[in-house]
Structures are given as C-alpha cells and as structure tokens.
Amino acid sequence: MILMSSHDSQHPLLIALYSIVTRDDGLPAMLSLLGQRFGCRSAAFIYVDRVHPAADVVQGHGAFDREAQERYRTRFAHIDPLPAIMARLPVGEAAASDRLFAPEEIDALPFIREYYHPLGLREALGGPIVNESGRFGIVAVHRGPERDPFTDAEIRDFERLIPHLAQVVALRRTFFEIAADAANTDAALDATATAVLVLDADGVLRRANAAARALLARGDALTLTPAGRLRAVEPEANRHLAAILRDPTSHEDTHLLSLPRAGEMLPCALRVLRRASHSGRFIVHVSDPDRATADPAAILIAALDLPLAGARLVAALVSGEDLAGYAGRTGLSVNTVKFHLKAAFAATGTRRQADLVRIATGILRDLGG
C-alpha cells in the first residue's frame, strides 16, 4: 500500500475530507475513499458537539449502514468497549482493536460475538480526532476476514490523517458558529420594524430584513435591477441614489433621500450610511409610511425601562412639544412633568433635555420605523 505524504494536499481523500466542513453530503464519498485506502469494507465518522449540536455528525459506510447504525444505537452501543478505549487515547494517536485485547477476550466480548462479527467485521483501526470542551470525535475503518490484520505502517498512515480530520472538525465548528451568529443577526433584523438593506460597495443587495423584502416586493418605491443593484422607481430619486452609491467618501457618511411614489401616496424616507470600515458597504434604512407605526411610548418603555408616564413625556418631547405645552395638554402640573423628566434623565444617563431627545429619537428611528 502506498502511504500518503503529508504534502499530498491534492489527494482525493483529502479533497473529500475538507468538503464536509460546511455540509454532510460529502461524508459518504470521504468514508468510501477512507475504506478503500485501507482495504476495508466499512468506515465510520462520529462527531458530537454539546455547544453546537447542529454540527453533530454520525455517518457510516459499507457494513455500518443505516440499519446497522440503528441496531447499534438501540441494542449494542452501551456494551461496545471500543469508544471508551479510543476516548482515552491522546488525540492524534491511532490503535487497532486486535492489539487492545487478547484473542480469547475478543471472542468472549458479547458486542463482538453478537454484533460485530455477524456484520462480517473482524478488526477496527481508528482514533480520536478531538476530545475537549464538550466535543468528541472519532474516525475508524473496519476490516473483514478477507484481509490481514492492520500493520504498524498502516497505523502510522492512519495517524497522518488525524491532523487533517482534527482541522476539519475545528473548521466545521467555526462554520456553524458563524452560521448561528448569522441566523441570530437575521432574526434580529427581521424583528426590526424599519426596512434595513445591506449593499456591497457596488450597490448590490447582500442582505434585507423582512420589512425591506416586503417593501421591495411591493415595488412602488424601490426595486432591484437584474444584477441585484438597488434602484429607486422615480427617475430623479434614482439619479440621486446612484450618485450616493458612487460617492467615494472614505469615512462614514450619512445621506438622506425622499423617495416619491405614484399617485397621492406619501413618499418613503431613505437614509444611506456608508461604512468604509466594512469594505465600503452601505447600510440603508427606509421609513415606510404605509406601515402601521408602533406606539412610541411602548418602544421607549421597552428600550429604556421607563414608566408609562415618563415614556409618554419623552415621546412628546421628541415630537417637538415643550414641557409647559405637555403639562397643559395632559392636565399635569409642571412639577409632575419635571419629576418624569428627571426619571428619564436617570434612565438614559443624561442631564440635558437635548441629549435625552437625541437618544430617544435614535431609538424610535431604529426600532419604530
């Protein structure tokens, strides 16, 4: 058997191995190649991650098929001595099962006698690829009686594969962490009432939350070109938008734009933030007048933990009302209004009314649409 060089990065087995970083459908091909490499009729790959269970993998090939896996889980896993022995091996070390037990012990093991041998399997070669922080992974091949026991050279060859396998599970875990973070970000954006779009440096849409997708689907203010670039429906507004997206500004800069719509419909308000620190990407917020506006007091209560009276006062200040006007409209005394104002200062860590209004305006803009 020709042994794999550690520099043989184009070997089909390694290509198949690294394909499973982001998906599971490459596992059967990888295990098939692994079994062929060692002249074995079966192979298995198991990875368990208690922190990111979406990354878990249990895959068999050959004799260790789905039916055999089900029988193993339900009837024989608890009496299989090999996983516990493999788990005690240092990561990177491989072992052949025939060397772990005396011949008479092998024949006496119920697992071997009742499950392993009836599958046509005689010996396993494998080792742990990760065993830390709630993660455990093991890979093994299983030979039948048609070939000789595993040799020292084959054990060393298998050990040369383990660093690649360890790197694959590390990359796989990172991938699923990133995927989980992206899913959480998408969920947070979808829960935001304001339409939010993320464009690349060329103005091509890369991400849109639920409100933005609804706005684009309606097509009365913004649409996408066949190339995925954002465009305004009204020609003059589109010229302004195109100019903003071509702006070579090298620092964060905000642009405001009104988007007229057909007929008597109120225009949308669009805000573009260019983020040079994120490869020149644009963040676009669109205020949609057709969307029912949330109660600003309710938003301020949730965001700042204000009591209802204080939240109503702050919402009135944001709308342009002064303290005396608010007191007269609500029938409250000026002293009571000032008491609510002090509570709002404490909740926001501010001391000036202008700073309080600025913070509340930002909250209502981002969360209220």
Please report the pLDDT score of residue 304 as a whole number.
77
What is the number of other CB atoms lying within 10 angstroms of the CB of residue 343? 18
CA dist 65 and 43 (Å) reads 10
Burial of 182 (0-12, 13-18, 19+ CB in 10 A): exposed
State the average pLDDT over residues 337-362: 89
| Superfamily of chain region 192-287 | PAS domain (3.30.450.20)
CATH tag, 12-181: 3.30.450.80
Please report the pLDDT score of residue 290 as a whole number.
67
Mean pLDDT of the chain: 82
State the average pLDDT over residues 350-356: 91
Domains 12-181 and 296-368 share a fold: no
Highest averaged pLDDT of the listed ranges 122-126, 185-189, 258-262: 122-126
Backbone angles phi, psi at 266, to 5 degrees: -65, 145
Please report the pLDDT score of residue 5 as a whole number.
44
Higher pLDDT pick, 155 / 250: 155
Q: Is the pLDDT of residue 38 over 50?
A: yes
Q: Give the pair of three-digit tokens for residue 158.
A: 């298998």
Provide the pLDDT confidence category of residue 6 given band limits of 50, 70 and 90: very low
Q: Is the pLDDT of residue 43 over 60?
A: yes
CA dist 135 to 25, 161, 172, 220, Å?
21, 19, 12, 51
Q: Is the pLDDT of residue 39 over 70?
A: yes
Highest averaged pLDDT of the listed ranges 262-266, 274-278, 352-356: 352-356
Count of CA atoms in the C-beta half-sphere (13 A) of 199 = 24
Please report the pLDDT score of residue 306 as a whole number.
82
Please report the pLDDT score of residue 337 as a whole number.
92
What residue ranges do the domains of the chain occupy?
12-181, 192-287, 296-368
Q: Where do we find the tokens 């008479």? A: 104
Please report the pLDDT score of residue 249 as a whole number.
53
Provide the pLDDT confidence category of residue 339 given band limits of 50, 70 and 90: very high
Provide the pLDDT confidence category of residue 177 given band limits of 50, 70 and 90: confident
Residues 143/38, Cβ–Cβ less than 8 Å? yes
Residue 12 CB contacts under 8 Å (≥ 6 apart), including other chains: 33
Q: Is the pLDDT of residue 260 over 60?
A: yes
Residue 79 CB contacts under 8 Å (≥ 6 apart), including other chains: 110, 111
Please report the pLDDT score of residue 10 as a whole number.
41
Domain 296-368 has CATH 1.10.3330.10: no
Residue 265 CB contacts under 8 Å (≥ 6 apart), including other chains: 220, 289, 290
Please report the pLDDT score of residue 7 as a whole number.
45
Residues 339/165, Cβ–Cβ less than 8 Å? no
Please report the pLDDT score of residue 346 as a whole number.
87
pLDDT over 90 for what percent of the chain? 27
Please report the pLDDT score of residue 24 as a whole number.
67
Q: Is the pLDDT of residue 157 over 50?
A: yes
